[in-house]
Amino acid sequence: MSKALQAVRGMNDILPQQSTRWQFVEERVRGVLEAYGFCEVRMPVVEKTELFRRSIGEVTDIVEKEMYTFADRNGDSLTLRPEGTAGCVRACIEHSLLVNHVQRLWYGGPMFRHERPQKGRYRQFHQIGVEVFGLEGPDVDAELLVMTARLWKSLGLRRLSLQLNSLGTSEARARFRDALVAYLKEHFDQLDEDSQRRLDSNPLRILDSKNPDMQALLDAAPLLRDYIDDASRSHFESLCSLLDAAGVDYRINPRLVRGLDYYGRTVFEWVTDELGAQGTVCAGGRYDGLVEYLGGRATAAIGFALGMERLVGLLESQDVPVPDRSPHLYVVVVGEQAQRHGLLLSERLRDALPQLRVVTHCGGGSFKSQFKKADRSGARYALVLGDEEVNRREVGIKPLREDREQETVSFDALHTRVAHLLELV
C-alpha cells in the first residue's frame, strides 16, 4: 500500500468535533456585525501579486518572504491572499462602492502566509475582517472598538486587553523614522541580526521586537508620540475620551506599529497572554491613504481582522461552553416496514419542527447495535420503531441521557410530544 498523503504543513483540517466552536464564533460575530449595520462582501482568494506589493508594502515581512506567489498559465503573477484589506479596497474601487457612500463591510475566509508554523500561527489561517470606508472622525474608530468589546462579551471571552497607538501622518512618521534610525545606528552593536537588517528597510518594525536583550535599548528609543502632528494627536485624544465614556479599557502602547505599511493614525490590537507567543486575536487600524494609492478617490478608511484559529483556541482554553449540535433524536428502525415508516416519520417531524435535528438509522442491524449507535450520536432520545410498533401505529420514545422509562405515543401525537420533551415550542 502506498503511504497515505498528508495535508500541507501549517494548513489544517477543521474536524467535526472542532467545527461546532468555529460555527459558534461565526454566528456570534455575524450577529454582532449585523447589529452595527455591516454587510458581507466576498472576494476571490487569489489576486494579482501587484495588489499586495503595493498595499501591504514591498519591505514588509509578508511581501518579502511570506506570500504564496505563482505564475498563472498565461504568465501573470498571482498570489494567494495573505490578508483581506487589499482585496476589499480593490473590489470597492472596481465596483464604485465608495462614490459618495459610507460603506460598512465585512468578509471572512482563509488567508495564506508562509510563516513558521507554531501554536496559533499557521500557513492557512482564517480571518473575519471588517472595513469602514468614508468616515474620517474618531467617532468611527471608537465605534469599531466598542463593537469588538461587545464581540468578546457575546462570545463569553474574558481577559482580553486592548492596546492602542497613533502612527500620525506619513510626514510625522518620516520625521520619527529619521530620529529612530539615528538612535539605533548609535547602538548598532546591540541590535540583533534581524533588526540590523531592518534598520534600512523597515526600522519601525524593530520596535516590535520581542528579543529580551533589546528591550532596554528600545525602551530608551525616541517615542513616536513626540513626533506626531497636532491633527493626529487630537484625533487620538478624542478617541481615548470616547472609549473612556463608553467604559472600554485600553492601554496606550507607544511601540505598537503593526506590520503592514498602509496604516496611519489609529492602530490597535486586542491581546491575551493565555495563548503563548501568538497572543494577538484581533488587530487593525486606519489606512486613510490606501484607497487613493490604489487608484480610487481619496477615502478615509479603518478596519480590523480577527484571527479565527486564535479565537477558537481561546474559547477552548477558557472553557467557554458552546451550543450542543448533537442530534435531538436518533430513529431506531428494525424491520422493513419500520424502515419505510421511519423515513417518513422523520420527514414529518422535520416539517413540523424546523429546529429539530434527527438522524434516521440507515444500514440495518439489531435493536442492540442500533441503540449503541444512537448513544454514540449524542442524541437525547431514541425513537424506537419495529414492525410491531408500525402495526399499532405507535413509536417508542426512549430517553438516552436520563434514567427514565421508555414511553409510547401514537404516530399522530409524535411531533407534539417531541416538541414538548425538547422544549421546542
CB distance 49 to 344 below 8 Å: no
Q: Which is nearer to ligand HAM, 113 or 361 (CB)?
A: 113
CB of 184 to ligand HAM, least distance (A): 24
CB of 403 to ligand HAM, least distance (A): 45
Q: What are phi and psi of 294, to 5 degrees?
A: -95, 10
Q: Which is nearer to ligand HAM, 84 or 108 (CB)?
A: 84
Q: Which is nearer to ligand HAM, 84 or 342 (CB)?
A: 84
CB of 165 to ligand HAM, least distance (A): 14
CB of 305 to ligand HAM, least distance (A): 4
CB of 224 to ligand HAM, least distance (A): 18
Q: Which is nearer to ligand HAM, 271 or 356 (CB)?
A: 271
* Pairing mode of beta strands 77-80, 124-133: unpaired
CB of 157 to ligand HAM, least distance (A): 13
C-beta atoms surrounding 232 within 10 Å: 21
CB of 56 to ligand HAM, least distance (A): 8
Q: Which is nearer to ligand HAM, 61 or 389 (CB)?
A: 61
Q: Is the CA virtual torsion 60, 62, 64, 70 positive or negative?
A: negative
Q: Which is nearer to ligand HAM, 105 or 206 (CB)?
A: 105
Q: Which is nearer to ligand HAM, 280 or 326 (CB)?
A: 280
Q: Which is nearer to ligand HAM, 218 or 302 (CB)?
A: 302
Q: What are phi and psi of 168, to 5 degrees?
A: 65, -165
* CA angle, residues 257, 258, 263, in degrees to nearest 5: 85
CB of 304 to ligand HAM, least distance (A): 5
Q: Which is nearer to ligand HAM, 108 or 203 (CB)?
A: 108
Q: What strands lie across the sheet with 68-71, from one edge to the other? A: 46-48, 77-80, 68-71
Which residues bind to ligand HAM, rule: CB under 6 A?
83-85, 113, 115, 120-122, 125, 127, 129, 131, 280-285, 303-305, 307, 309-310
CB distance 38 to 104 below 8 Å: yes
Q: Which is nearer to ligand HAM, 310 or 380 (CB)?
A: 310
Residues 6+ apart with CB under 8 A from 92: 98, 103, 105, 133, 291, 296
Residues 6+ apart with CB under 8 A from 377: 326, 327, 330, 359
CB of 231 to ligand HAM, least distance (A): 21
* Pairing mode of beta strands 280-286, 266-271: antiparallel
| 388 SS3 class | helix
Please state, in angstroms and rounded to a whole number, the distance separating the CA atoms of residues 76 and 50: 10
Q: What separation in angstroms does the CA of 6 have from each of 10, 11, 114, 124, 387?
A: 11, 10, 18, 15, 46
Q: What separation in angstroms does the CA of 384 have from each of 48, 357, 379?
A: 58, 16, 13
Please state, in angstroms and rounded to a whole number, the distance separating the CA atoms of residues 266 and 256: 10
DSSP state of 264: -
CB distance 14 to 22 below 8 Å: yes
Q: Closest CB to ligand HAM belongs to which residue?
A: 307
Q: Is the CA virtual torsion 167, 170, 172, 174 positive or negative?
A: positive
Q: What separation in angstroms does the CA of 215 have from each of 93, 179, 190, 255?
A: 42, 18, 10, 11
Q: Which is nearer to ligand HAM, 310 or 341 (CB)?
A: 310
CB of 303 to ligand HAM, least distance (A): 3
